[in-house]
Amino acid sequence: MTPSNLTKVSEFFLLGFSEEPALQRLIFGLFLSMYLVTPLIFGLFLSMYLITVFGNLLIILAISSDYHLYTPMYFFLSNLSFVDICFNSTTIPKMLWNIQTQRKGITYEGCITQMYFYILFAGLDDILLSVMAYDRYVAICHPLHYMVIMSPRLCGLLVLISWVMIAFYSLLHSLMVLRLSFCPLVQIPHFFCELSQVVQLASSDKFPNRTVMYFAAVLMGVGPFAGILCSYSKIVSCICKITSAQGKYKAFSTCVPHLSVVFLFYFTALGVFLSFGTTYTSHSSTIALVMYTVVTPMLNPFIYSLRNRDIKEGIKRLYLMPSIKDQLY
């Protein structure tokens, strides 16, 4: 094959769920009509996307409108909610558009752009969870110095450093993909341009890309997770020193939502990593990606709102705010 045939790719094809026989058989078995498969997939993912955007936006509005929630913990939570909205918006709208228009194409430039922002927001999720673990460590182990240590300047600096670091990290992967050559017809067996899938389908030398991918996966996966484990090992040690049972319960209850989100995020991320490590065409990789990119951001606001009394009170005050203003004026 000549080099000219490898470098002039202008469009990729996202097969989405059309090539997932297991999913098709499941829906067919439930609804007994293959004509309902596409509308059901569209409606399902549209509903999950709207729930994700509305749920995370509600948390952001509740935190920003309630001065009781002007603390480092909720500052990081509002940033996490914003990142989750962006993370979901990177992939789902394009998938819904392709389903609605019965198209599968995405331009080469659009694929690279989608890949960049996907890596960016996934990485920010990872780093922010680690920063939030450190915040919980300071709050429980150094409560008297909490507001001094976690000053607004430090909180803003931690978020800024996270954005800058992950932006360069994502840029590195995107530039590495730009050096690859592809055949004219490239079919990606997923609903968005996932990095490992795109690299796998390249026709040129993929070894440098794979090396950087696995090194970065270990660095970005093990590093923040090790920080989370270190923070919670110290938190557990401090909680064990508390004499009253009520004090132990109160200290631990502040960590439950964060621990739940951490478990959900890393469990689904591990599923994605292992599924791609076995085969690139199995439906298990699609299921893992759906859990990671769609379900996890959707569940995060529910976890924090159901397990956090302050968030529930903030949402109630947000709901009552218009009626209070009407009474005043």
Which pLDDT tens digit goes with each residue over 30-80?
444 444 556 777 788 899 999 999 999 999 998 988 888 889 999 999 999
Beta strands (DSSP E) in 15-160 are 105-107
Going by pLDDT thresholds of 50, 70 and 90, the confidence category of residue 87 is very high
Query: What is the spatial distance between Cα 185 and Cα 10, in angstroms, rounded to a whole number?
Result: 9
Count other C-beta atoms under 10 Å from residue 270's C-beta: 14
φ, ψ at 40 (rounded to 5°): -70, -40
Query: What is the spatial distance between Cα 211 and Cα 43, in angstroms, rounded to a whole number?
Result: 39
Between CA 13 and CA 219, with CA 290 as vertex, the angle to 5 degrees is: 95
Query: What is the spatial distance between Cα 26 and Cα 96, in angstroms, rounded to a whole number?
Result: 20
Q: Is the model's pLDDT at 181 over the cut of 80?
A: yes
pTM (2 decimals)? 0.86
The tokens describing 50, both together, are 């709207």
Q: Would you call 150 helix, strand, or coil by DSSP?
A: coil
Q: Would you call 152 helix, strand, or coil by DSSP?
A: helix
Query: What is the spatial distance between Cα 203 and Cα 199, in angstroms, rounded to a whole number?
Result: 9
Helix (H) / strand (E) element for 11: namely strand 11-14
Mode of pairing for the β-strands spanning 11-14 and 186-188: parallel
Going by pLDDT thresholds of 50, 70 and 90, the confidence category of residue 6 is very low
Q: Is 323 exposed, middle or buried (0-12, 13-18, 19+ CB in 10 A)?
A: exposed
Query: What is the spatial distance between Cα 78 and Cα 65, in angstroms, rounded to a whole number?
Result: 12
The tokens describing 269, both together, are 């991320």
Query: What is the spatial distance between Cα 95 and Cα 105, in angstroms, rounded to a whole number?
Result: 10
Mode of pairing for the β-strands spanning 105-107 and 186-188: unpaired
What are the pLDDT digits (tens) for 146-156? 999 999 999 99
Query: What is the spatial distance between Cα 196 and Cα 310, in angstroms, rounded to a whole number?
Result: 40
Query: What is the spatial distance between Cα 183 and Cα 225, in angstroms, rounded to a whole number?
Result: 38
Q: Is the model's pLDDT at 267 over the cut of 50?
A: yes
* Range 4-328 has CATH code 1.20.1070.10: yes
Going by pLDDT thresholds of 50, 70 and 90, the confidence category of residue 279 is very low
The tokens describing 176, both together, are 């590495």
What are the pLDDT digits (tens) for 290-299? 888 888 899 8
Please report where in the chains the tokens 């939502």 appear, as a residue: 257
